[in-house]
């Protein structure tokens, strides 16, 4: 039997204290397309995404902080969902079955927590592919909606998760051994890896795991959506300023991934969004992970545009902003 591997990053789901206020940011300002609304959740996607959603916003308690409910990865084939469940249970991971329809547009899935970090993960295969509403639908058959809404993000790009209180080395290995992720770039400190950028697709990363020395728990740093051209990053800056939203960092360029970036937060929830453009693709099956050493840390994170001031932690705007769903 070949090694099980997930196919791609599908979506991220968040619980927020004020759904309507958060929806203003993600739909009206950022420009994601709403595909469905239930009594307590809204489902959105980029204008070139065919799956039902890449972002879920769920209504939480008004007096509680936002948190990551789960990150979802799509399996390569329908039978892999059950195969993953069996494999994970076989190595001692507690797996919850998620019946079809629990999440709008989605078939049966499984959920579990990464045992080495505590981040909540979902694996699914079946997902509806609805047409966009007529008022936003594109005449192009290979995209689902027209450009021109907000900053017009094309698709979800990656998720960035931080491991609190302990190095991420074990989590990096666990993701590789059990979900099929490959390390593409990493930062190596003398004692451990500070972080790794990993993917199962040709993208330089579908997920990144970083060390968080200021926290003892699993944390969420950002979700990233992709813009096609670096110049769109500058246009996005203008757009955010028009709506009174201050960015955390950027515009700038990462050394790691070679991508252009801007970071900002949903004012209602604190969820950080990275607007991401450029980057490179990896097609070489013999790819050797790129190592950045401790003295190269700042250039790896900020090739230009920003700096990493260690004296400012944890107030530095690069630090994580929300936690994740805890085990019940």
CB 131 within 8 A of CB 139: no
Whether omega before 320 lies within 30 degrees of 0, making that bond cis, reads: no
**pLDDT, tens digit, for every residue of 63-108?**
999 999 999 999 999 999 999 999 999 999 999 999 999 999 999 9
The closest of 97, 92, 219 to 163, measured between CA atoms, is: 219
Q: For 102-118, give the DSSP string.
A: SSTTB--EEEEE-TTT-
Give CA–CA dist 302/8, Å, rounded. Answer: 26
Give pairs for 313-319: CB < 8 Å, separation 24+. Answer: 313/213, 313/214, 314/214, 317/248, 317/249, 317/263, 318/248, 318/249, 318/263, 319/212, 319/214
CB 110 within 8 A of CB 122: yes
Give CA–CA dist 312/56, Å, rounded. Answer: 32
Residue that has been written with the tokens 């397309």 in this structure? 33
Q: What is the dihedral of CA 31, 263, 212, 203, to 10 degrees?
A: 70
The predicted structure's pLDDT at residue 314: 47
Give CA–CA dist 299/305, Å, rounded. Answer: 10
Strand 96-98 to strand 109-113: parallel, antiparallel, or no bridges (unpaired)? antiparallel
Query: In which residue ranges of the chain is pLDDT below 70?
Result: 1-2, 216, 308-318, 328
Give CA–CA dist 277/10, Å, rounded. Answer: 19
CB 108 within 8 A of CB 98: yes
What the chain holds in terms of domains, given with CATH numbers, is 6-143+151-324 (3.10.180.10)
The predicted structure's pLDDT at residue 88: 97
The predicted structure's pLDDT at residue 309: 64
The whole-chain average pLDDT of the chain stands at 92
CB 109 within 8 A of CB 124: yes
Sign for the CA dihedral angle at 133, 149, 255, 315 comes to negative
CB 74 within 8 A of CB 278: no
* Cα-to-chain-centroid distance, residue 70: 10
The predicted structure's pLDDT at residue 297: 86
């Amino acid at each position: 039997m070949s090694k099980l591997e997930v196919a791609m990053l599908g979506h991220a789901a968040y619980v927020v204290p004020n759904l309507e206020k958060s929806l203003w940011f993600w739909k009206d300002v950022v420009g994601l397309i709403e595909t469905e609304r239930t009594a307590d959740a809204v489902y959105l996607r980029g204008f070139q995404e065919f799956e039902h959603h890449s972002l879920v916003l769920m209504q939480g308690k008004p007096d509680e902080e936002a948190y990551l409910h789960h990150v979802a990865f799509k399996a390569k084939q329908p039978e892999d969902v059950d195969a993953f469940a069996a494999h994970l249970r076989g190595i001692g991971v507690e797996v919850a079955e998620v019946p079809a329809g629990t999440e709008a547009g989605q078939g049966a899935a499984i959920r579990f927590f990464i045992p080495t970090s505590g981040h909540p993960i979902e694996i699914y295969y079946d997902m509806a592919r609805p047409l966009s509403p007529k008022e936003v639908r594109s005449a192009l058959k290979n995209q689902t909606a027209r450009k021109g809404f907000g900053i017009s993000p094309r698709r979800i790009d990656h998720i960035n998760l931080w491991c609190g209180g302990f190095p991420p080395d074990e989590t990096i290995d666990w993701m590789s051994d059990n979900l099929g992720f490959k390390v593409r770039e990493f930062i190596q400190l003398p004692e451990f890896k500070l972080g790794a950028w990993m993917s199962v697709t040709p993208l330089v990363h579908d997920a990144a795991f970083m060390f968080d020395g200021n926290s003892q728990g699993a944390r969420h740093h950002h979700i990233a959506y992709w813009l096609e051209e670096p110049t769109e990053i500058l246009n996005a800056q203008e757009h955010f300023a028009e709506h009174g939203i201050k960015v955390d960092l950027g515009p700038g360029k990462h050394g790691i991934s070679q991508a252009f970036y801007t970071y900002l937060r949903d004012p209602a929830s604190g969820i950080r969004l990275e607007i991401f453009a450029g980057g490179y693709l990896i097609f070489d099956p013999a790819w050797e992970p790129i190592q950045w050493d401790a003295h190269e840390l700042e250039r790896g994170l900020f090739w230009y545009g920003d700096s990493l001031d260690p004296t400012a932690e944890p107030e530095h705007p690069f630090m994580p902003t929300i936690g994740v769903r805890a085990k019940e």
